């Protein structure tokens, strides 16, 4: 199929065949070395102890708790970031206001801040000696070393994903359809639910998937704010670290392979989205 | 729903946030509340004690059930000793801490979470078990590394973790210092010179004890690993007695594993009595037996005698006597501008 396309448009590409093949071979070798090989290694190591060890590692009470906690943390983080992302993208794409560029820069901040810093920030705010620490402990509210801390840290790290996907999409679409809806008598909410949301749904889903993938795999920030209590505040990445440090290599890679599988599912869904709704996602390719 | 909510909120404004938090995370709580007991202790501990407490905790739970009829739970949290101490200071609600360095419990005491005289609350300076720095060498000890003086010879590669960031590293450094200082015609200057020679032979300085173990045992770097005897036994049993063996130097340092009740947290949670009993349990024959089987030296004379074959006689010194206590040793050797900084600066050049 692609060969046909290539031969028909050969005039457009003047490179000799050898150069093209070399380039393709280089790319594939690179992919194999840096992506496929490590993945294969993860699964090979996961099954090194046999299927029994593999499933025992996943059925272990602490592993189950870690998987649950990871899913719960990712759920809340993605929920919060979806709400925020839609609101921010809406404000940025549809309205003109002062400080807009500043807001866009702020949204990108988590990309450039180390996750460890993100974790430490929350310790500074909510730790016993932090700004709100005394008040929180007086009222018996636990933030860091508990689920809220894990969610906060994850939200911080995955902050840009949904907003970053939606902003170019909404900017490209403009506000014409919303204006039309308003002139036809729709209320603000009706416009949002019936016009804006259907227009951005695939982009939104795409953003949510990326956000989710990152949220489940987050290590640095979560490691700082987690109390590392087995079965209570260990997420999957933290559990993997513990198993690895305990020389339980097969168990560590069993859990790692599950995390990798979750990433594969996300990747698969993403590819499916691109394939089915490529046109609507076209605006995303701009960045 | 909204009305009911606002009445409740208006009546008790102080509980508003608590109510909202409870509402928000109630579904989560059910998912996480798998192990709810009458009382649950949180034991915040050092990194490599994970397996140890997986065995010790159920024994305590059974013991307490038999004695009092209550079912308690013990949660474990493990990490680098100093990092764990920081977490407790920042609000990790530990009922007890079980560490591998008194320095870390001192830090928690300085933050006001437990009394400064914690070391006097339980027998043997509140340390139910201890270990010592030993040498792990490759099978057959091909370079004949038997004592500290062998480590500074040309062509020997020594692996130990960074004394700035790890307990093992600090203990190893002080043991080498003490050895050099107690030779004939020795003084502080010759001890410093000895350390410089030693660290000139160190190719990698890892952050923590386990990292150093991985460097030595798995990546195969170096001729000798300096680490705690308990960790050395793990290396031999995990990677094979046909690959590694332990060598005992003529003099080494005793590293206590101290324990303490975090009084402020336990009082608040009403768990002080159980926390106390939990640490007392560490001194009983059941727990002492577990320690000994896990490669730790114990304070109970009977259990120690039963395991004498696994623990050769060694000559040890304690940091309190030889270096005037940990705060002093820390300031003189590991603080910025201390002797270790001088060693590193020299070796780099």
Burial class of residue A196 in the structure, from the number of CB atoms within 10 Å of its CB (0-12 exposed, 13-18 middle, 19+ buried): buried
pLDDT at A13: 62
Summarize the confidence of residues A32-61 as an average pLDDT: 88
Report, as an integer, the average pLDDT of A192-198. Answer: 88
**Which residues of chain B make contact with A128, given a CB cutoff of 8 A?**
89-91, 111
Stretch B217-239: mean pLDDT: 92
Query: Cα-Cα-Cα-Cα dihedral of A24, A30, A33, A39, to 10°?
Result: -90
Neighbours of A255 (CB within 10 A): 26
Q: For A108-122, what is the mean pLDDT?
A: 90
At B270, give phi and psi (nearest 5°).
Answer: 70, 30
Give the strand pairing for B39-46 and B96-98.
parallel
Q: Please say if the pLDDT value at position A271 is more than 50.
A: yes
Mutate to test the interface with B, among A228, A235, A250 (most CBs of B within 10 A): A228
Tell me whether residues B238 and A247 touch, CB distance under 8 A: yes
- Give me the total of CB pairs closer than 8 Å, taking one residue from chain A and one from chain B: 79
pLDDT of residue A135: 87
Averaged pLDDT for residues A236-258: 88
CB atoms A232 and B75 under 8 Å = yes
The CB-side HSE value for A86 (13 A sphere, CA atoms) comes to: 19
Q: Who among B21, B25, B50 is closest to A242 (CB)?
A: B50
**Residues of B177-207 as b/e, b for ≥16 C-beta within 10 angstroms?**
bbbbeeeeeeeeeebbbbbbbbbebbebbbe
Interchain proximity A228–B18, CB inside 8 Å: no
Is A223 in contact with A118 (CB distance < 8 Å)? Answer: no
pLDDT digits 0-9 by tens, A147-162: 999 999 999 999 899 9
Cβ-based contacts of B16 with chain A (< 8 Å): none
pLDDT tens per residue across span A65-111 = 999 999 999 999 999 999 999 999 989 988 888 888 898 899 999 98
Cβ neighbour number for residue A133 with a 10 Å cutoff? 19
**CB pair distance less than 8 Å for A144 and B90:** yes
Which tens digits make up the pLDDT trace of A10-23? 555 677 888 889 99
A282 CB near a chain B CB, below 8 Å?
no
A95, A96, A101, A106 alpha-carbon torsion, rounded to 10°: -40
Report the residue of A229, A242, A244, A252 to disrupt the B interface, i.e. the one with the largest count of B CBs within 10 Å.
A229
Residues of A in contact with B95 (CB under 8 A): none
Residue B283 exposed, middle or buried by CB count within 10 Å (0-12, 13-18, 19+): middle
Local confidence band at B209 (pLDDT 50, 70, 90 cut-offs):
confident
Give CA B85 to chain center in angstroms. Answer: 11
Residue A41 has pLDDT above 60, yes or no: yes
Homologous superfamily (CATH) for A50-286: MetI-like (1.10.3720.10)
Residues facing residue B44 across a β-bridge: B77, B97
User: Which of A129, A145, A230 is nearest residue B92 as measured by Cβ atoms?
Assistant: A145
pLDDT for A139 beyond 90: no
Which helix (H) or strand (E) segment holds residue B115: the answer is none
pLDDT of residue A228: 87
* pLDDT top residue among A285 and B305: B305
Res. A248: pLDDT tops 70: yes
For residue B49, what pLDDT is reported?
87
Mean pLDDT of the B145-167 span: 92
Give how far Cα B93 sits from Cα of A139, A216, B9, B195, B200, Å.
14, 25, 28, 40, 43
What's domain B130-255+311-348's superfamily in CATH? Periplasmic binding protein-like II (3.40.190.10)
Nearest-CA distance B18 → chain A (Å): 7
- CA–CA separation, B251 and B156 (whole Å): 20
Taking contacts as CB-CB distances below 8 angstroms, the residues of chain B near A133 are 90-91
Mean pLDDT of chain B: 87
Most A CBs within 10 A among B87, B206, B218, B240, hence the mutation to make, goes to B87
Task: Kindly determine whether residue B90 and residue A128, on different chains, have CB atoms separated by under 8 Å.
Answer: yes
Q: Indicate the residue of B18, B77, B84 with minimum beta-carbon distance to A141.
A: B18
- Look at A129 and B89 and tell me if their CB atoms are within 8 Å: yes
A229 closest CB neighbour out of B51, B75, B91: B75
Band (pLDDT 50/70/90 cuts) for residue A287 is very low
Low-confidence winner among A155-169, B30-44, B333-347 (lowest mean pLDDT): B30-44
Q: Does B141 touch chain A (CB under 8 A)?
A: no
Predicted model pTM = 0.78
- pLDDT bin (cut points 50, 70, 90) of residue B307 is very high
The chain B residue lying nearest A137, using CA atoms, is: B91
The answer to whether the CB of B96 falls within 8 A of the CB of B259 is: yes
* Residue B99 in this model has a pLDDT that exceeds 60: yes
Separation CA B192–CA B177 (nearest Å):
7
- Gap from B218 CA to chain A (nearest CA, Å): 11
Q: Give the model's confidence band at A279: pLDDT under 50 very low, under 70 low, under 90 confident, else very high.
A: low
Instruction: Pick B38 or B314 by higher pLDDT.
Output: B314
The answer to whether B77 contacts A139, with C-beta atoms less than 8 Å apart, is no
Is it the case that residue B35 has pLDDT exceeding 50?
no
Q: Report angle CA A58, A64, A70 to the nearest 5 degrees.
A: 110
Distance CA A287, CA A18 (A): 31
Per the CB < 8 A criterion, the answer to whether B255 and B127 are in contact is no
Mean pLDDT for all residues in chain A: 86
pLDDT of residue B10: 38
Burial-class residue A49 by CB neighbours within 10 Å (0-12, 13-18, 19+). Answer: middle
Residues of chain A found within 8 Å of residue B111, distances taken between Cβ atoms: 128-129
pLDDT of residue A134: 84
> How far does B97 lie from chain A, in Å, by closest CA?
13
- Tell me what the mean pLDDT of segment B329-339 comes to: 92
A contacts of B48 (beta carbons < 8 Å): 245
For residue B13, the model assigns a pLDDT of 45
**Of the partner residues A72, A137, A140, the one whose CB lies closest to the CB of residue B28:** A72
pLDDT of amino acid A283: 53
Q: Are B89 and A128 in contact (CB under 8 A)?
A: yes
Per-residue pLDDT at B37 = 57
Nearest CB among A61, A139, A232 relative to B18 is that of A139
Asked if B21 reaches chain A (Cβ–Cβ under 8 Å), the answer is yes
- Does B26 contact chain A (CB < 8 Å)? no
Asked if B240 is an interface residue toward chain A (Cβ–Cβ < 8 A), one would say no
Question: What's the average model confidence in pLDDT over A153-181?
Answer: 90
Chain A residue numbers with beta carbons less than 8 Å from the beta carbon of B26 are none
Lowest-confidence region among A122-136, B267-281, B304-318:
A122-136
**B27 vs A142: CA distance, rounded Å:** 16
Q: Which CATH superfamily is domain B37-127+258-283 in?
A: Periplasmic binding protein-like II (3.40.190.10)
Would you kindly state where each structural domain of chain A is located, as residue ranges? 17-46, 50-286
Shortest Cα distance from B214 to chain A (angstroms)?
9
């Amino acid at each position: 199929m692609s060969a046909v396309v290539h031969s028909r448009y050969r005039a457009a590409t003047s490179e000799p065949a050898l150069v093209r093949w070399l380039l393709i071979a280089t790319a594939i070798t690179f992919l194999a070395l840096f992506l496929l090989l490590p993945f294969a290694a993860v699964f090979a190591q996961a099954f090194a102890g046999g299927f029994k060890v593999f499933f025992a590692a996943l059925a272990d009470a602490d592993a189950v708790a870690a998987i649950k906690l990871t899913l719960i943390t990712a759920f809340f983080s993605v929920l919060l970031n979806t709400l925020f992302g839609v609101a921010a993208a809406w404000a940025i794409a549809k309205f003109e206001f002062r400080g807009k560029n500043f807001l866009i820069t702020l949204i990108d901040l988590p990309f450039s801040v180390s996750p460890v810093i993100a974790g430490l920030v929350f310790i500074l705010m909510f730790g016993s000696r932090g700004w709100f620490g005394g008040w929180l402990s007086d009222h018996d509210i636990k933030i860091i070393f508990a689920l809220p801390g894990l969610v906060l840290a994850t939200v911080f790290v995955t902050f840009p994903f949904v907003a970053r996907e939606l902003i170019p999409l909404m900017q490209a679409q403009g506000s014409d359809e919303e204006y039309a809806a308003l002139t036809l008598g729709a209320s603000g909410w009706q416009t949002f639910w019936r016009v804006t949301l259907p227009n951005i749904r695939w982009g939104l889903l795409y953003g949510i998937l990326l956000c989710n993938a990152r949220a489940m795999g987050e290590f640095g920030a979560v490691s700082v704010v987690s109390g590392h209590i087995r079965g209570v505040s260990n997420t999957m990445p933290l559990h993997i670290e513990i198993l690895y440090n305990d020389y339980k290599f097969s168990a560590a890679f069993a859990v790692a392979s599950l995390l990798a599988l979750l990433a594969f599912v996300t990747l698969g869904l993403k590819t499916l989205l691109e394939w089915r709704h490529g046109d609507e996602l076209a605006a995303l390719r701009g960045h | 729903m909204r009305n009911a909510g606002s009445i409740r909120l208006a009546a008790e404004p102080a509980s508003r946030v608590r109510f909202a938090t409870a509402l928000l995370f109630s579904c989560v709580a059910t998912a996480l509340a798998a192990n709810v007991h009458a009382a649950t202790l949180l034991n915040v501990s050092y990194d490599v004690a994970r397996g140890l407490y997986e065995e010790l905790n159920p024994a305590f739970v059974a013991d307490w059930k038999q004695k009092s009829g209550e079912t308690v739970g013990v949660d474990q949290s493990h990490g680098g000793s100093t990092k764990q101490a920081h977490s407790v200071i920042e609000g990790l609600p530990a009922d007890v801490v079980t560490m591998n360095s008194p320095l870390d419990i001192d830090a928690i005491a300085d933050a006001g979470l437990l009394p400064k005289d914690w070391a006097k609350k339980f027998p043997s300076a509140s340390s139910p078990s201890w270990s010592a720095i030993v040498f792990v060498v490759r099978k057959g000890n091909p370079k004949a590394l038997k004592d500290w003086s062998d480590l500074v010879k040309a062509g020997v590669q020594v692996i130990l973790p960074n004394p700035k960031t790890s307990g093992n590293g600090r203990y190893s450094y002080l043991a080498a210092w003490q050895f050099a200082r107690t030779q004939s015609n020795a003084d502080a200057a010759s001890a410093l010179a000895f350390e410089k020679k030693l660290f000139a032979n160190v190719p990698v300085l890892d952050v923590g004890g386990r990292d150093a173990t991985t460097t030595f045992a798995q990546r195969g770097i170096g001729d000798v690993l300096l680490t705690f005897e308990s960790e050395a036994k793990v290396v031999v049993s995990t990677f094979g007695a046909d690959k590694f063996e332990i060598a005992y130097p003529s003099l080494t340092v005793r590293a206590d594993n101290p324990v303490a009740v975090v009084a402020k947290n336990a009082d608040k949670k009403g768990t002080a009595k159980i926390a106390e009993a939990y640490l007392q349990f560490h001194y009983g024959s059941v727990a002492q037996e577990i320690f000994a089987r896990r490669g730790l030296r114990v304070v109970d004379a009977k259990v120690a005698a039963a395991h004498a074959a696994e623990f050769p006689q060694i000559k040890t010194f304690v940091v309190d006597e030889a270096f005037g206590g940990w705060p002093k040793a820390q300031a003189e050797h590991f603080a910025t501008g201390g002797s270790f900084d001088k060693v590193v600066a020299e070796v780099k050049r």
